[in-house]
Each structure stands twice: as C-alpha cells, then as structure tokens.
Amino acid sequence: DSGTGLHHCGEMFRAVFRLSATGARTPVATRCYSHGKVESDEEFDARWVTYFSKPDIDAWELKKGMNTLIGYDLVPEAKILDSALRACRRLNDMASAIRILEAIKDKAGPHKDIYPYLIQELKPTLTELGISTPEELGMDRL
Amino acid sequence: MLRLVSGRVSGLLARRVTPAVCTSSARPASHGHDVSPAVDMSRPMYWDRRDVPLPDRPFRDELSAGDKSLKEKEKGSWKQLSNEEKIALYRLSFNQTYAEMKRPSAEWKTVLGGVFIFLGFTGLVVWWQRVYVYPPAPRTFDPEWQQKQVQRMLDMRVNPVEGFSAKWDYEKKQWK
C-alpha cells in the first residue's frame, strides 16, 4: 500500500488533534501526486478501525497492523486506538495493550499534549476493559 | 630455524582441517566454550524498537507454571489483575519498556573525552616537532632586520593611499 505511505509523508497529525497550534493544515487537494485517488482523513480512520474490528483478528494481524500504523507519519486517532485495544482484549493480550499506549506516547514526540488528550478520550475504554496506562503502572519511569 | 617455521605452518594447517562449519543451532556442547550462544536466525526474532512496538515473538517463550497460570488469568476480566500482575505480563512479552529503550547513555562523555585526548596528543606532537624538527628561523625574522625592513617599506611609500604607508605620519615620524 505504498500510495498511502507517500500520502502521509511530510505531515504530522493528519488524522488527529485539531487542537494543535501547528497552523493551517494543507488542504488535501494540493498534494502533488501524478495519479491515484486521494484518501481523506475519515476514510483512513475508517479503514483502520475496520481492520482492528475484525472479530476473529489474529495475533499476527494485530502486530502487523500496529507496526504499520506506527510506521506512518501521524499519531492515530482515538477511535483507531480504541479498536486496536479491543482487538488486544479479544486476543487476551494485556501486554500489547500497554505497549500500544507507550508507542503512541512515543509517536507524539515533542508534542506533549497529544498523549494526555488521547488518554482522556480513551478513558472510558480503558476503564471498561481494565487496561492500566503505563503511568499508572510506573512503567514510564526508569 | 627452518624446522621451527615448518612446524608452525603444519600446526596452522592442522588447525584448519578441524571442521569449523558448525550450524548455529546444532553446536555441540564440546565446541565453542568461549563463544556466546548462537542465535537461531531461522525463527522469528525479538527486538525492542521504538518504531516496531509489537515484535515478531514474545520476549519469553518458555513459561514457568506461575507464568502459565497468570496467562490463564489474563483470559478473564483484566480488572481482576493487580498492577504487579499486569507488569509481570508485560515483562513476559517484552524486554524493555519504552522508557528503558529511550534512556540516554553517557556515550557522549566517552566521545568528547576521546576527541580531547587525540587533540591533546596532536598538540604534543606538534610541540615536539617545533622543538626538534623545525630548522632555525631565517635571519629575516630578526628584530633588527624587521626594523630595517619597515623603514625601507616606508621609504618606498608602500601602499601610501589606504594601506601601510598611509598609516605613517611622515611629519611627526610616528604611526598615526
């Protein structure tokens, strides 16, 4: 899916966090590729939510999906992460759920306000599933 | 002398004959005592990488009885798990946390120290060269010669408009 890879290069937060002060986002129409339909943010999000929502998702698919998603130049939306965390629940994989939270905090990089926002958005899911954040477990410190 | 050399050569040849081509996973216990255990590259590998959050296999493959019962408990509601159990489950699957992966090292001190050591050593070499290698300075560097040279330049009116002689006050016979 190299088209979507190119699509995301050079722009952070494409699918998330309209509160950020990084200024105007470039409208999608001015991207310069030679061909190919442009996927909107909503389509991207929906595609990934569907991917993780597969009822009989297997461990490999979860790993592949997460590793690919983290490879993109963006921090995933809360709804994608919610879907991924529920996939962890179906796979009885608590460790991966915590790992995912660590990964998105790392993904946000210097933008320290993204992770607390995402945790706030995911709080209902975290309490419902009983997932502790790395901070609650003291794993964010050495 | 010739015998010694031939003895050495035959020793080398003899060593080469012993099979050195053990496959990594089949290395018998009698070989390679000083070598670290070879990694089986034919199986999926584990690594801690920031950009690959979920590696190909869990960190710990072989689980003790306690680990197995914890894994069973994981299949139920996660609210029953204590914090320690959650941490234990994490450590079964993963080696380092992101915080541990990203921890800063003190390598920069080694690098900077090495740089300064080599600069210092170079300085010593240059100093030694100055003392022992350089020939004596030419006589044109002597202060007396230099004085006469400056006087000659002023007499010749070297760069009288904006440069050398322009800075000399010919009436007062001093620098401006």
Span B87-144, pLDDT tens digits:
999 999 999 999 999 999 999 999 999 999 999 999 999 999 999 999 999 999 999 9
pLDDT at res. A1: 46
CA distance linking residue B176 with residue B159, whole number of Å: 15
> Is A33 within the bounds of a domain?
no
The enclosing H or E element of A135 equals helix A134-137
> Is A16 within the bounds of a domain?
no
Nearest alpha carbon to residue A108 among A22, A3, A5? A22
Q: What is the pTM of this model?
A: 0.67
Locate tokens 């255990």: which residue?
B37
Domain that holds residue A97: 41-137
Give the nearest partner residue to A137 out of B56, B83, B103, using CB atoms.
B83
- % residues pLDDT > 70 (chain B): 81
> Is A61 within the bounds of a domain?
yes
pLDDT at res. B29: 59
pLDDT at res. A35: 83
Q: Is B41 on the interface with A (CB under 8 A)?
A: no
The enclosing H or E element of B175 equals strand B174-175
**B78 and A89 in contact by Cβ < 8 A?**
yes
Average pLDDT of the residues in A17-32: 50
Question: Which residues does A contribute to its contact with B (CB < 8 Å)?
Answer: 62-63, 66-67, 70-71, 89, 92-96, 98-100, 102-103, 105-106, 129-132, 134, 136-142
Domain count, chain A: 1
CA distance linking residue B51 with residue A127, whole number of Å: 27
Mutation target among B45, B90, B95, B100 for the A interface, most CBs of A within 10 A: B90
pLDDT at res. A10: 45
**CATH code, A103:** 1.25.40.40
**A132 and B77 in contact by Cβ < 8 A?**
no
What is the band of B36 on the pLDDT scale with cuts at 50, 70, 90? Answer: confident
| pLDDT one-digit tens code per residue, A53-97 | 999 999 999 999 999 999 999 999 999 999 999 999 999 999 999
What is the band of A24 on the pLDDT scale with cuts at 50, 70, 90? Answer: very low
Model confidence at A41: pLDDT above 70:
yes
> Is A126 within the bounds of a domain?
yes
CA distance linking residue A89 with residue A46, whole number of Å: 20
What is the band of A16 on the pLDDT scale with cuts at 50, 70, 90? Answer: low
